[in-house]
């Protein structure tokens, strides 16, 4: 029996959900924590990615509820981005299920590395976009969000970072308001992906349910607490972790495991 189907594996999935949802609530990059846990518990990469996406959506929902006081002023922006988000997420999910597992496995290290770099450069991206003022037209936001949602439906690690970085381009809002919008859009992306992944039988039910429980706890608690806490230290920890995981997955790929 693979580890992810044992009680120990279910506990790992629960803890992965707690940690990933907590990180996603305000810093982004939580998938860099939970996805490797599922893989190292013996789950194939393609199934781990799908299970992770479905398992974390309650965390996005609880985080969104945790940021509810920050939503009213930016609610019109959220409504404008619903359709682009759903279209992009469905396209990315369909692309994933059409991708051979060997191709996806080979892409995993570089997807993790890309997400890690985005997380590391998050502040620089924000500073650049604020300084230049590019992309302020609402149509720019719709196009950018569609592309991010395609990536979110396909893999998802770092999509929160991408959304926060992009929102600086077309939103006049503080970080809490952007997080409020980002978390609701993450809910939509993961829900859209869930329908596709369930239909294709890619979800490991036990670990998924354990991760959901952990994500609900971690997402809401983090959203309530971290609105008063600076995210720099946690972001640094996740970046270092992401670099390590990139190396580990490259080693796995080269070793043929």
What is the rounded distance in angstroms from the CA atom of residue 27 to the CA atom of residue 16? 16
Distance (Å, rounded) from C-alpha 66 to C-alpha 46? 31
Name the residue with higher pLDDT: 1 or 133.
Answer: 1
Q: What is the pLDDT of residue 234?
A: 62
- Give dist(CA 236, CA 238) in Å, integer: 5
Measured CA to CA in angstroms, residue 204 lies from 41, 209, 241 at distances of: 12, 9, 25
Integer-rounded Cα Rg, in Å, for the chain is 17
How many whole angstroms separate alpha carbon 29 and alpha carbon 24? 6
Determine which of 116-125, 186-195, 229-238 has the lowest per-residue pLDDT on average.
Answer: 229-238
2 neighbors 215 (Cβ within 8 angstroms)? no
Q: Identify which of 65-74, 96-105, 151-160, 244-253 has the greatest average pLDDT.
A: 65-74
pLDDT at residue number 136: 55
Domain coverage including residue 7: 3-255
- Full DSSP string of 171-228: ----HHHHHHHHHHHHHHHHHHHHHHHHHTT---HHHHHHHHHHHHHHHHHHHHHHTT
> Could you report the per-residue pLDDT of 197-245, keeping only the tens digit for each?
998 899 999 999 999 999 988 887 776 666 565 556 666 776 787 788 7
Q: What is the pLDDT of residue 210?
A: 96
| Average pLDDT rounded to a whole number, residues 138-152 | 87
Structure confidence by residue, pLDDT tens digits, 146-179: 999 998 899 877 787 778 777 877 777 777 788 8
> Is 60 exceeded by the pLDDT of residue 134?
no
Q: What percent of the chain has pLDDT over 70?
A: 86
Looking at the structure of the chain, the number of domains it has is 1
Q: Determine phi and psi for 230, rounding to 5 degrees.
A: -70, 140
SS3 167: helix
Q: What is the pTM of this model?
A: 0.78
């Amino acid at each position: 029996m693979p580890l992810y189907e044992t009680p120990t594996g279910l506990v790992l999935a629960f803890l992965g959900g707690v940690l990933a949802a907590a990180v996603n609530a305000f810093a982004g990059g939580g998938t860099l924590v939970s996805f490797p846990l599922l893989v190292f518990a013996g789950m194939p990469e393609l199934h781990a990615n799908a299970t992770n996406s479905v398992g974390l959506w309650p965390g996005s929902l609880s985080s969104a509820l945790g940021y509810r006081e920050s939503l009213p002023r930016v609610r019109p922006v959220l409504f404008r981005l619903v359709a682009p988000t759903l279209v992009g997420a469905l396209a990315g999910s369909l692309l994933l299920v059409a991708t051979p597992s060997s191709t996806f496995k080979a892409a995993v290290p570089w997807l993790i590395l890309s997400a890690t770099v985005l997380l590391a450069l998050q502040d620089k991206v924000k500073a650049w976009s604020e300084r230049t003022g590019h992309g302020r037209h609402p149509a720019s936001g719709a196009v950018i969000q569609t592309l991010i949602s395609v990536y979110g439906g396909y893999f998802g690690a770092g999509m929160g970072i991408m959304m926060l970085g992009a929102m600086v381009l077309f939103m006049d809002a503080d970080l809490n308001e952007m997080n409020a919008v980002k978390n609701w859009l993450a809910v939509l992306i993961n829900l859209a992906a869930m329908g596709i992944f369930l239909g294709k039988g890619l979800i490991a039910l036990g670990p998924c349910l354990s991760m959901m429980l952990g994500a609900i706890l971690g997402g809401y608690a983090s959203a309530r607490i971290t609105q008063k806490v600076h995210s720099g230290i946690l972001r640094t920890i996740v970046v270092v972790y992401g670099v390590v995981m990139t190396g580990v997955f490259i080693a796995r790929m080269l070793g043929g495991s």
